[in-house]
């Protein structure tokens, strides 16, 4: 029987390491991945597992209740599961989105809202796994570079596990909702003058020669946890794959994890053919798109600029893994403009769902891909909403007040900066005198308009 190990990703002669190896690159700089040594299951075994997952979904035991650990047979690296650190993450809802369906031209459009996780983003699905591994390895201190959500999630799980956490964030560029979380959860929060890509390279070096355990998505155990986002989705859809999964692309950890999930589910026999992955980037942070569009599998780093700060990343660490996910799923990459992101976000809002700007690239991307004929009208689509609206409320208020600019510091920098237009999507707050008659007249004028 082969054992579960780490191995070099994308190499013809992979180097292999034990699970407690804490440097996440091989000798030639390749990323590592968990080799779960899965073998095909019999139909009877698959039916038994599906029934087991169903039963656990109705259980109140934390490890069953968690939408990650419920699927622990597919996460064998963490056996015997006696050190699991959970906030009962996952269990995120899937919603039909009729208004976004008309808006994109994809009538059969749903979203899975990962913003409903304990700290408000999908990072929790990976973090519960990686912090569990940190606990299994006896680590006392953990670290990450972050555009905000990774640090919020790491800080929460580290607090639960009684570990010290150290976060490196780009100074002045992290949305307040996210920064406030790291502070409350007790993380040592270091703002550097530099962008995310600078923070990422700094923390990777720091962790390689200290006792700090690195929790960015270069950590292969994060990827293991994030696989369950797709496993839970398929469970929710009665194990029927949609035609498309649409996901934002920043550091490309999610695209990589989703590809690995489908690869393993197919090998085990849960599915016969994976859905197609569509990864969407902001135009101002589009190195994956640029590579895909040119057809050349070569990462050319860019200097990233977008108000969707969660995907403001110019040198994505999981580029190679993400390419593999595209190949595996017949995937595509698209880019969208700041105006398209903002408009899509307000359209998602009109379906009663609130997400942060980075998540809205999915609906904007669907609209573009449908218009280009890449997505066909009858096909089913699930957009992955990665973070919650309340992560970045400034963005939303500025947008609806027609005051949203590409440069968030426009007030201090007098330099010209692009305005992101609200146009018809805007919903300005109304100022009225505190007078019954005036307010009644105003409300009647709304009825007259409708």
CB neighbour burial string for 205-214, b if at least 16 within 10 angstroms, e if fewer: eebeeeebbb
Q: Which is nearer to ligand PLP, 123 or 368 (CB)?
A: 123
* 413: its two tokens: 């920098």
Interaction between residue 259 and ligand PLP (CB under 6 A) = no
* Shorter beta-carbon distance to ligand PLP: residue 67 or 253: 253
Pairing of strands 5-8, 32-35: antiparallel
* Gap between the Cα atoms of 15 and 8, Å rounded: 5
Pairwise CA distance, residues 178 & 196, whole Å: 15
Which among 350, 337, 360 has a CA at the least distance from the CA of 421?
A: 337
Residue nearest ligand PLP by beta-carbon distance: 387
Coil/strand/helix, residue 160: helix
Contacts of 288 (CB under 8 A, 6+ apart): 249, 252, 279, 281, 316, 319, 322, 333
Stretch that binds ligand PLP, among 99-107, 188-196, 291-299, 352-360 (CB under 6 A): 352-360
Of 93-152, binders to ligand PLP (CB under 6 A) are 121, 123, 149
Segment interacting with ligand PLP, rule: CB under 6 A, options 91-99, 130-138, 165-173, 249-257: 249-257
Binding-residue total with ligand PLP (CB under 6 A): 18
Interaction mask 150-189, ligand PLP, x per CB under 6 A:
----------------------------------------
Shortest reach from residue 153's CB to ligand PLP, in Å: 8
How many angstroms separate the Cα of 193 from the Cα of each of 170, 173, 198, 251? 6, 10, 9, 20
Q: Least Å distance between CB 249 and ligand PLP? A: 5
Which residue lies nearer to ligand PLP by CB, 248 or 274? 248
Stretch that binds ligand PLP, among 127-135, 246-254, 290-298, 421-429 (CB under 6 A): 246-254
Give the one residue of 387, 389, 392, 420 binding ligand PLP; rule: CB under 6 A: 387
DSSP conformational letter for 111? E
Q: Does 358 bind ligand PLP (CB under 6 A)?
A: yes
Considering only residues 283 to 312 of the shown chain, the ones binding ligand PLP according to CB under 6 A are: 310-311
Q: Looking at beta carbons only, is 5 or 146 nearer to ligand PLP? A: 146
Strands 276-282 and 332-336: parallel
As measured in angstroms, the least distance from the Cβ of 52 to ligand PLP is 29
> 270: which 2 tokens?
């849960």
Q: Which of 36, 104, 117, 254 binds ligand PLP (CB under 6 A)?
A: 254
Shorter beta-carbon distance to ligand PLP: residue 36 or 386 = 386
Q: Please, which residue, 178 or 400, has the CB nearer to ligand PLP?
A: 178
342 contacts ligand PLP (rule: CB under 6 A): no
How do beta strands 213-214 and 141-145 pair?
Answer: parallel
Task: Looking at residues 26 to 85 of the shown chain, list those that interact with ligand PLP (rule: CB under 6 A).
Answer: none
Instruction: Give least dist CB 267 to ligand PLP, A.
Output: 23
Contact indicator for 158, 185 with CB cutoff of 8 Å: yes
Angle between the 149-161 and 123-136 helix axes, to the nearest 10 degrees? 40
CB hemisphere CA count around 301 (13 angstroms): 11
Contact 151, 122 (CB under 8 A): no
Cβ closest to ligand PLP, residue 113 vs residue 400: 113
Q: Which residues bind ligand PLP (CB under 6 A)?
A: 121, 123, 149, 217, 248-254, 310-311, 356, 358-359, 386-387
């Amino acid at each position: 029987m082969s054992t579960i190990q780490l191995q070099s990703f994308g190499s013809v002669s992979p180097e292999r390491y034990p699970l407690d190896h804490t440097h996440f690159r091989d000798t030639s700089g390749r990323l590592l991945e968990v080799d779960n040594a899965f073998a095909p299951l019999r139909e009877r075994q698959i039916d038994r597992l599906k029934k087991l997952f169903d039963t656990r979904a109705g259980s109140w035991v934390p490890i069953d209740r968690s939408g990650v650990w419920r699927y622990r047979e597919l996460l064998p690296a963490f056996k015997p599961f006696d050190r699991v650190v959970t906030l009962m993450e996952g269990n995120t809802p899937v919603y039909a989105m009729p208004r976004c369906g008309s808006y994109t031209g994809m009538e059969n459009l749903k979203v899975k809202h990962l913003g409903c996780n304990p700290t408000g983003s999908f990072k929790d699905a990976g973090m519960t796994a990686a912090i569990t591994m940190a606990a299994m390895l006896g680590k006392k201190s953990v670290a990450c570079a972050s555009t905000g959500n990774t640090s919020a999630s790491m800080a929460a799980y580290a607090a639960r596990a009684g570990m010290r956490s150290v976060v490196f964030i780009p100074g002045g560029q992290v949305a307040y909702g996210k920064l406030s979380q790291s502070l409350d959860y007790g993380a040592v929060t270091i703002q550097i003058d530099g962008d995310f890509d600078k923070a990422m390279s700094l923390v990777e070096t720091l962790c390689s020669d200290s006792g700090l355990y690195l929790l960015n998505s270069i950590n292969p155990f994060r990827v293991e946890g994030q696989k369950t986002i797709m496993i839970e989705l398929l469970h929710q859809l009665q194990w029927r794959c949609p035609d498309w999964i649409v996901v934002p692309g920043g550091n490309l950890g999610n695209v990589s994890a989703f590809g690995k999930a489908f690869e393993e589910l197919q090998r085990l026999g849960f599915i016969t053919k994976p859905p197609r992955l569509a990864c969407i980037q902001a135009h101002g942070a589009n190195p994956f798109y640029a590579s895909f569009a040119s057809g050349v599998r070569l990462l050319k780093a860019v200097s990233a600029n977008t108000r969707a700060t969660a995907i403001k990343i110019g040198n994505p660490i999981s580029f190679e893994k993400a390419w593999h996910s595209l190949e595996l799923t017949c995937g595509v990459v698209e880019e969208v403009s700041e105006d398209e992101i903002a408009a899509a976000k307000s359209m998602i809002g009109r379906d009663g769902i609130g997400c942060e700007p980075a998540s809205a690239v999915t609906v904007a991307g669907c609209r573009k891909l449908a218009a280009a004929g890449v997505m066909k009208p009858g096909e089913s689509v699930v957009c992955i909403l990665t973070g919650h609206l309340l992560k970045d409320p400034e963005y939303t208020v500025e947008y609806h007040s027609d005051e949203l600019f590409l440069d968030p510091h426009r007030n201090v920098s007098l330099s010209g900066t692009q305005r992101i237009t609200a146009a018809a999507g805007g919903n300005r707050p109304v100022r009225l005198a505190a007078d019954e008659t005036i307010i009644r007249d105003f409300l009647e004028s709304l009825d007259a308009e409708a």
